[in-house]
Every structure is written in C-alpha cells, then in structure tokens.
Amino acid sequence: MKILATGGTGYIGSHTVVELIASGHEVEILDNLSNSKESVLDRINEIAGVRPKFFNADICDFNALSKIMREGNYDAVIHFAGLKAVGESVEKPLEYFETNVGGSVNVLKAMREAGINKIIFSSSATVYGDQGLGFYDEEAQTGIKIACPYGETKYMIERILMAEAVARPEFECTILRYFNPIGAHPSGLLGEDPNGIPNNLMPVIMRVSTGDIPELQIYGDDYDTEDGTCIRDYIHVVDLAKGHVSALDKMKTGAEVYNLGTNKGTSVLEMIKAFEDASGKKLPTKVVARRAGDVPVHCAIADKANRELGWKAELDVADACRDTLNYLAHEARG
C-alpha cells in the first residue's frame, strides 16, 4: 500500500515507517518537525534502504494537507502527528485542542476530499482514565476521570473517528491505544530524543544515566503495589511499530479499537533495576512525593490484538533497556 504517515519523523512514527518499508509498503511522511529532526529520514534510509519522500507541513494547515493528499494517491493514512506532553497540556490546553483535535479534523476532511478511506490513529491508554481497574481491555469505559487535556484530546479524536465511520460506510478506521512505549531501534539509529526536560520515566532514566539530570526522583513508594511504586505496561517501540503493520493488513470498514501493550506490569523500581542490569551502573535515585494524577497500576489486556491482528509483543523491558543504551551510545558518538 502507499501510505502517508503524519508525524512520521517522530519517535513512534519513525520506527513504524521502518517496519512498513520492511513489509513492502511505500511510505511518505508529513511532519512540521516541531518535535523531530529531518535527519531521521537519513537514519530511516540507513536502516530500510529507502529515504521516504518528506513534506514539511502542519496538520493545522488544511490547504497544505489537502494538496498533499489529493496529489499523493495514498491508500491509507497513519496519523501520529500531535502534541503529547501531559504537563504542557495542562498549561497550554488551547494549543493541544487546536493541534490534536483541530489537526485531526483537518486530516479527516482532507482524506474525505481525496477519497482516502483507511486511517490508523495513535491513541493512548490515557483514554481509560482513572477507573481503578489496573488492567484494561477495550471493553472498559473511556472518558472517565481523564487526568489532563492531552488525554481529553485523544478521547475526543476517538469519538470523532467513530462518528466519521458512521457517516462514511466505506471508511476503515483502526484506533490503536498505546500503553507506555519505550526502547529504541536495535541499530541505535532511532530512538526517543525529547526536547526540553523529559517527564516520562525512560527519558528521565536516560538523562540520569548520562549525568544531565543529577538523580532520578521516584514519585512515591507508598502505593498499594508489591514494592510500593507504580506499575505500568512498557511496550518496546519496535513491537509497537510492528503492531501498525499487522493492523494495516487487517483493516475493515467501521471503527475498531485495539490495545497495544504486553499484558505485563513493571514497577518503577523494577524498571530502574532492569536499566542498571543492562548498563552495569547504579542510578542515583531519591524517593519523593507522589506525582499528581498517577494511578498505582495501569496496564493492557492486549488479547484482542493477538486474536484479531495476529500481533503479540515479543520484546521485554530488558531488551528495551539494552536498545536504549545502544541508542545513547550511538548518539554520544555523533
């Protein structure tokens, strides 16, 4: 298939583009480079042997989007582009609604105009909110006690996609709810490189390991879990990328939702230990107060993706730590 990947130079997008090319798909990328670099295209070329055609464009610019889609002859869109920092979304809600919701509406309108019927959308486990279930399958309710505007945007976009699927009988929509993506490409050429001060656990661990952040703050060790720290479902980004290829092969009319996770929880202390084991170095840590909005356990039941897409996560947190360290070493060499 010929695919347009919005946000395709980003962390998850770039890994997915590599897997799509490896599976014989033709991919073009649209990104405004607000959180990624054009050099990612060379890295993709090094790994996959193809430098995807690139459009430096913004999903908020409907005219640009529409021209690209009308001229591209695409079979499908994979829509990764968006803003994703939970804390920032509390400070800049309008920017988040404008880019994530407004931008997604533009993507859908441009697709309709160009006669493109297939979309895969990057949603998030955050849509399940805080229901205290611990493990979530796709039947769990969404939209309840979502912790931040970022999460609200993902919930709203899901609702918009579902409405569009009702309005357009030929529309094929797959919503993928990612849990906690971590890790890097085993080549060391692609990985997560957030601008500014990171918030997510693995990027913080990376900066602590390089000495850019003096110590890792553990946000609470008094949760009702075995070791007192929060438990999440960390999924290797290469497994996640492969999930998109499987989803593309199995698209059908209507809107379908799949969790992409590992069915396994890892605590903050277990993650620190896994990284220390992989690097052979202790990380300086300090237990501090709980972070607002955190829940003790938030993990996937990803059986539906296994059953219907034939997809299953194959890598574990040890693989992710090894690949992250390899990426860091590669970046340090320049």
Write out the catalytic residue numbers: 150
Closest approach of ligand WQD to the CB of residue 199, in Å: 5
236 binds, among ligand WQD, ligand NAD, none (CB under 5 to 8 A by kind): none
DSSP 125: G
d(CA 186, CA 324): 8
Which of ligand WQD, ligand NAD, none does residue 285 bind to, with CB < 5 to 8 Å depending on kind? none
Closer CB to ligand NAD, residue 88 or residue 287?
88
Q: What are phi and psi of 20, to 5 degrees?
A: -65, -45
Q: Which residues are paired to 172 by β-bridges?
A: 118, 254
What 8-state DSSP symbol labels residue 98? I
Give least dist CB 285 to ligand WQD, A: 9
| 204 binds ligand WQD, rule: CB under 6 A | yes
Q: Burial of 63 by CB count in 10 Å (0-12 exposed, 13-18 middle, 19+ buried)?
A: exposed
**Do strands 216-219 and 285-288 pair parallel, antiparallel, or not at all (unpaired)?**
parallel
**Interface stretch with ligand WQD, choices 34-42, 57-65, 211-219, 235-243 (CB under 6 A):** 211-219
> Shortest Cβ distance from residue 46 to ligand WQD (Å)?
28
Residue 147 interacts with ligand NAD (CB under 6 A): yes or no: no
In the complex, the smallest distance separating the C-beta of residue 290 from ligand WQD, rounded to whole angstroms, is 7
- Answer yes or no whether residue 158 interacts with ligand NAD by CB under 6 A: no
Q: In the structure encoding, which two tokens stand for residue 328, read together? A: 């860091």
User: What is the distance of C-alpha 177 from the center of its chain?
Assistant: 8
Rounded Cα–Cα distance for residues 123 and 295 (Å): 19
* Site residues, ligand NAD (CB under 6 A): 7, 9-13, 31-36, 58-60, 80-84, 99, 103, 122, 124, 178, 181
